[in-house]
Amino acid sequence: MAEETPYVPRLAIGLVHYPVRDSKQKTVATNITNFDIHDIARAATVFGVEKYYIIHPMKEQLMFVDRVLDHWRTGQGSKFNPMRKTALGNVKAVESVEKAFEDWNVPEALTIATTARTEWAKHKYSFAELRNEMHVAKKPVFMLFGTGFGLTEDLIRSSSGVLESIRGAPPKDYRHLSVRSAVSICLDRVMGPW
């Protein structure tokens, strides 16, 4: 008897560089880093993410992403490291969160913000609850990750809900992960085969 193909939930992620907050809670745009392009793309590929959007309003920053992607998809990098080419296949740079939603075009998707500022949330999802929504209820999800000091209040309030924050080990409960690490942990918890 043939083995049944397991269900893979529909998931897109967005790395938001604008609108995000700085240390004084002002709305700013942060710079895109080469590490975030590569490392998050690799985690997204491991965990079956359909699309990874890098969101920034500045043309120069989007052009930087496109140059990196071109190098690894069609340039010398594609011959040097085919695994990297595979990982970067579903990455797209866009000008806004709205453009990312429009491009993915899954209107019924839950929009889940990641933040430590849960007081702004419509609904607070535990990892187990969101995993159930994705794997059992089969709801598609668009998950947003903020750079800088996190997503803005407006963006969090406009989301379907927020995902519980990643907690550090007691007694310190240190919570200052790189966004690359946070994305990997979140993807493993909601998409991992455990």
In a domain, 1, yes or no: no
Total domains in the chain come to 1
In a domain, 6, yes or no: no
pLDDT in tens, 52-98: 999 999 999 999 999 999 998 888 877 788 888 899 999 999 999 99
In a domain, 24, yes or no: yes
In a domain, 3, yes or no: no
In a domain, 177, yes or no: yes
What CATH number is given to the structural domain containing 161? 3.40.1280.10
Contact 62, 95 (CB under 8 A): yes
Contact 133, 110 (CB under 8 A): yes
Query: What whole-number distance in Å separates Cα of residue 67 and Cα of residue 65?
Result: 5
pLDDT in tens, 105-137: 999 999 999 998 778 888 999 999 999 999 999
pTM of the predicted model as reported, rounded to 2 decimal places: 0.94
Distance, C-alpha 98 to centroid of its chain? 15
Residue in the block written with tokens 């990455």: 91
In a domain, 5, yes or no: no
Mode of pairing for the β-strands spanning 27-28 and 20-21: antiparallel
Give the domain extent around 63.
11-191
